[in-house]
Amino acid sequence: MGFPATLPFAHIAWSRGAATRSVWRFAVSPHESTRPVRGEILAQISTGLVQLHSRYYGKGPTKAKTHQVSDTIVSILRGGFTKVERTLIDTGEVESVYQMRRSFQQAMEEEFRRIVEDATGRTVIAYMSSIHVDPDLAVELFVLEPLDEPGPLEDHTNNDGAQPDHLEGEPV
């Protein structure tokens, strides 16, 4: 698929192990990186999870934010209970909602994993999910296969930007 030469689009392809990814992006700079930006990848995961919830529940979360720490991806989804689930919660049937959500996560695990694997180019080795009733939250947690060397998504800074006292695998 091509775009007219007059539009500033860039075709970006990158590889991680055996996986090769390719995307078209609007080019904002002639020096644009050949790898997706970390924030774009995390936003892609958030969007994919919201769309998956919307498609199968008929209602998606109203807010979503995805974070990464080393080989762990955590997505926090807010405001995603359906009217049926909210009714069950309001009448004290919270366990029914937990059970239905657990069953859904087990049935849909491959699709949840695929969203993260497609965005990161890495294999998900573990997936966990949980909900919280008040406030209305869902948390999707993915553990990625470790990399031999730090990649574009992996940094060893804390949320405040400070370096940790030591890196995993290094003597303490």
Domains of the chain, residue spans: 1-35, 36-144
Identity of the residue numbered 43: A
The pLDDT averaged over each successive group of 10 residues in the chain (172 residues) is: 48 56 52 69 96 90 96 96 94 95 93 96 96 94 86 52 49 50
Structure tokens at 161: 């930007």
Q: What is the pLDDT of residue 163?
A: 47
pTM exceeds 0.85: no
Q: What is the pLDDT of residue 151?
A: 54
Could you give the count of Cα atoms lying within 13 Å of 89 in the half-sphere of its Cβ? 17
